[in-house]
Amino acid sequence: MIYVPDSAKNILVNHSSGMDSTLLIYKLLNELKISRKLEKVNIFINTGDEPVCDPHASFRSDNICKKLFDKFSSSYTRLKFIYTDGETKIPTFKNKTIEYKRQYNIDVFYRGITLSPPKEIQTKYNYYKPERDVNQLTHITLVGESYTICPWYNVDKKFIVSEYKKDSFLMNEIYPLTHSCICSGDKTENWTKHCSETQGPNAKNWCWWCVEKQWALGVLND
């Protein structure tokens, strides 16, 4: 169940086109339909395109969202931006959050961030993001009159995968459209594949996001 405040009118979901934020949109739409709020809110989908790592994220996001929103006979407003050279991801996202809040009167922001895999997996593949630690993520934050909600604050990607496997629509029609890799175009056949598909079986040659995804699927080749 995804928590939706009774006061929600303008909802923004940050969507990378990955599994986590895609599942969030699906569950959110379902909750809005069940609670009969779907026709009472405006939904904005926000995606950042990264010229080097992921220039087609918003295109993939639209392919996914069209299927999801069609299933619920609903619609969304597309928001997107491009990271420029020298920008770092977190400050840019924070700045865009402030901008969108003012421009569209957003009162609820949703993030699909999950817990990191166990420490031994992080250490082996040289990855550590303190903001994804169990003691750092918060389910619901209220600042002024705006909520930030992270439904997956206490689960990792294995839970996300299990939710896909329970639902044939998600697994068969949506999962193949998701994309998590952040490797450059020369390593991913111009961003059409994951580096885990193009860089051979040695997981240490992959980006972290491919490692995490394969770990969650239970097929990581250690």
pLDDT, the chain, mean? 90
Which pLDDT score, from 0 to 100, does residue 89 have? 58
More confident residue, 210 or 91: 210
Confidence of residue 88 (pLDDT cuts 50, 70, 90): low
Task: Measure the CA–CA gap between 214 and 218, rounded to whole angstroms.
Answer: 6
Give 193-201's long-range contacts (Cβ < 8 A, gap of 24+).
Answer: none
Q: Give this prediction's pTM.
A: 0.93
Contact 29, 61 (CB under 8 A): no
Which pLDDT score, from 0 to 100, does residue 1 have? 84
Name the helix (H) or strand (E) containing 82: strand 77-82
Which pLDDT score, from 0 to 100, does residue 135 have? 73
Give 40-43's long-range contacts (Cβ < 8 A, gap of 24+).
Answer: 40/9, 41/8, 41/9, 41/10, 41/11, 42/9, 42/10, 42/11, 42/77, 42/104, 43/11, 43/12, 43/13, 43/74, 43/75, 43/76, 43/77
Give mean pLDDT, residues 96-123. 92
| Residue 219 in this model has a pLDDT that exceeds 60 | yes
More confident residue, 205 or 41: 41
Domains and CATH numbers, the chain: 10-175 (3.40.50.620)
Q: What is the pLDDT of residues 115-172, one digit of tens each?
A: 999 988 888 888 877 778 877 788 999 988 899 999 999 999 999 999 999 999 999 9
| Residue 222 in this model has a pLDDT that exceeds 70 | no
Q: What distance lies between CA 50 and its chain's CA centroid? A: 15
| Residue 19 in this model has a pLDDT that exceeds 80 | yes
